[in-house]
Amino acid sequence: MAIAQFFNQYSFFMLPATILVVAAAVLMWRRAKPIVWAVWGLALVGVFAFALINRVSQTATVKLDTAADIRAAIQVSGRPTLVEFYSNY
């Protein structure tokens, strides 16, 4: 995976992670109380939980060659399906 692909794929999670790192630096600099660190920790857990849920629910790519295979896949899936057609002609 190229570095550009990595940033493109995970940029949505990099922004909250960056904000949390900056917030942790500010909290350390200000010598925050334990309750503030607990709130920061809950925010961190929330970001990780959201990232895990989002990563698990990603869509799968299936290569189908015939129209009958496409119809069967759409009928069996029971979910909204995006079908893309590609022609190299």
pLDDT at 56: 59
Question: What's the pLDDT band for 21 if we cut at 50, 70, 90?
Answer: confident
pLDDT at 2: 78
Model confidence pLDDT, tens digit, residues 5-19:
777 777 777 888 888
Closest CA to 12 of 61, 56, 54, 59: 54
Global confidence as pTM: 0.51
For the chain, the structural domain boundaries read 3-59
Across 82-89, average pLDDT? 74
* pLDDT higher than 60, residue 57: no
Exposed e or buried b per residue across 17-43, where buried means at least 16 C-beta atoms within 10 angstroms of its C-beta: eeebeebeeeeeeeeeeeeeeeebeee
CB 60 within 8 A of CB 22: no
Across 41-54, average pLDDT? 84
